[in-house]
Structure formats: structure tokens, C-alpha cells
Amino acid sequence: MNRPHVAVLIDTTIQRRVLDNASWEALRAFADVRRNPHNRPLVAEELAALLADADGAISGWGVGRLDEGVLAGADRLRIVAHSAGSVKPIVSEALWARDIRVTSAAAGIAQDVARTTVALMQIAIKRIWQYARWTRQGGWRDAPFGPADELTGKTVGVIAASHVGRNVIALLPHFAVGRVLLGDPYVSAERAAQLGATKADLDTLMSESDIVTCHAPTTAETRHLINAGNLRLLKNGAIFINTSRGWLVDEVALIAELRTGRIFACLDVTDPEPPSVDSELRRLDNVILTPHISGCVTQCHHLGRMAVEELRRYFAGEPLVHEVTAEMLSRIG
């Protein structure tokens, strides 16, 4: 069998970010490679030219939609390995109609986000954010905002058994939490138990959890999933974490709840991004606000390795591990 041709669609900056020397060597061991030579995203005509004789492709951040115009001459294309999370920016009806397989590195990003999420739980419950400022001002443990606490014995509510949500649940036993509640309408009680959680409806999760962490996908039905009605159910002193998407949260309602001072929030995502310069989220003392950095930011070579391995498996006739299908799009990010 002739060696497959693989087109690398990401720009040179993203190439350096996700593909290390080992990944390039692994890719060239089974395929002939053509790369985007530019330090910018390709326009549609350039994508079409690069894909014209490709059997497979590596996409990622910045790559445009692979629509009918881009795919018109890509008669040999059989698989696209996405070296980032959501495939929604690149897929199209034309791609599915051609039975082109698609894989994603979302599972790799999920590990990064989950670790950051649990770190934020620790920072928030220990009141590290407040204590750092208090200590800098000359204070010590005699702070007016209450003592540091521990995750031990706490109830953690995880919204959605997504890649990230499942990874968060898997990490929590290391911190001796008391209960993990899982809010996900697509997961049965039995499956929740297998993951290490107890299935709960959203209102129960919000009212009984000491910490709530949000990991639902961006879909039509999750717009403002977190709103005034369920935010007011949070316990006094509860911690709310969002490392998913700002889309999920009614920010006006969240700010109103934060103004009361009775809850604390860790927000790595907002709606819009970045928040306006005069957004209260930038000024409230009970908010940790970070610029969408919970996932991989600089050295993301594990994502490139995942994409290359999926291509290798496909051309070797082995099952794909991280495939995304058209039917999955309505319930994933």
C-alpha cells in the first residue's frame, strides 16, 4: 500500500505549540507530510489546495470550516484528526456527507482543565486569594473573612459528565471529599455510581454542594443553565467554579449573587471574553478571574501526539480511540 499523504492545516505557531520533534518523527514514519508554511490561518482557497491530494489531515486552533468549497477537490480525504478540543468550528455537512472520519484531542485538554479545576477548589476553600492580599497588607491569621478550610468531607457538585467532568470526579477521591453529586440528564444513576458520584437534579446539586463546578457543553439547551433561580439555592459560603464556557452562566444573575458576599466564584471563562474593562467581575473581592487558561496554553504536545496516533491507527486499520460523529455534536462542546 502506498504511504498516505497527510496535510497539516494549522499555522506554524500552532504547529510548534502542539507538535514536538517526536510527533513529527512519528507522523513521517507512516505518512508523507505537507504543512501549512504560514504563520497565519489559511484562507479557504489555501485549505483546498493543501487538501487536494491528502488522505488525512491534522486540524486545530485557527483552522477554518471544512465546507463544500474547501472539500471540493479533496477526493482522497478520509480522516481529520483535530489537535484541539471542540470540532464544531471545522466540521460541516459536506464533511459528514463524504464519510470523512473525525477525531478530537478533547480528552487531552480535559485532563489539563480538570487539574486546574481541582486546584481552584483548593485555592478557594483555603481562602488563598483573600489571605494573600490580607497578609500583604500586614495581617496574618486574624482575618475578617473566616478561616481556611479543607476539601475533606465536603460535598462537590459536578455539572455534566463531560470529558472534564469525568476527570474531575476521578481526581476528587485523592482529596477525601465526602460526596460527589453529578448533574447530567444524559447519565443514569447506575452510570453516575460507576464514575464515583451520586446522580442529582440540578436544584439538589446546587443546594446541597459546598463546591459547584460547571463542565457542561455549549448547546442551545445549556444557555444560562446557571441562573438566578438556582444560584440563590447555593449555601452561604459555597464556591462556584466555571472552567467550561461563559455561555452556561447568566452573568448578570451571578454578579448580583456575588454582590451579597455570601458565595465565592472562580471564573476562568466569561461571556463575553474578555469581560468588559468595567465589568464588576474585575473588581469584586470574592471572585478569582483568570483569562481562559485552565486548559493547555503553551506546551500542548500531548494534543499533537493524540492526533498523530489517531492517524496512525486509522491508516494501520486499527480502531480509533477519540472519534467524534455527527450524532454526538448536539450534546458535546
Q: What CATH number should be reported for the domain holding residue 207?
A: 3.40.50.720
In terms of Cβ atoms closer than 10 Å to its own Cβ (0-12, 13-18, 19+), residue 66 is buried
Count structural domains, the chain: 2
Say which of 16, 127, 224, 292 is annotated catalytic: 292
Given this model, what pLDDT does residue 298 score?
84
Given this model, what pLDDT does residue 143 score?
84
Q: Are strands 101-104 and 323-324 parallel, antiparallel or unpaired?
A: antiparallel
224 is catalytic: no
Is there a single domain that holds both residue 100 and residue 117? no
Given this model, what pLDDT does residue 1 score?
56
Say which of 68, 150, 273, 318 is annotated catalytic: 273
- Residue ranges for the chain with pLDDT beneath 70: 1
Say which of 5, 163, 166, 245 is annotated catalytic: 245
H or E, element range at 70: helix 68-71
273 is catalytic: yes
Is there a single domain that holds both residue 41 and residue 75? yes
Is there a single domain that holds both residue 132 and residue 86? no
Q: How many CA atoms lie within 13 A of 217 on its CB side?
A: 20
Query: How far is Cα 147 from Cα 248, in angstroms, rounded to an integer?
Result: 31
The parent domain of residue 59 ranges over: 5-104+298-331
Global confidence as pTM: 0.90
Is there a single domain that holds both residue 112 and residue 96? no
Given this model, what pLDDT does residue 49 score?
97
Is there a single domain that holds both residue 156 and residue 229? yes
Is there a single domain that holds both residue 119 and residue 18? no
Is there a single domain that holds both residue 270 and residue 150? yes
Given this model, what pLDDT does residue 146 score?
81
Is there a single domain that holds both residue 283 and residue 302? no
Is there a single domain that holds both residue 231 and residue 324? no
Q: From residue 50, how far is each of 35, 47, 89, 287 by CA, in Å?
A: 8, 5, 18, 46
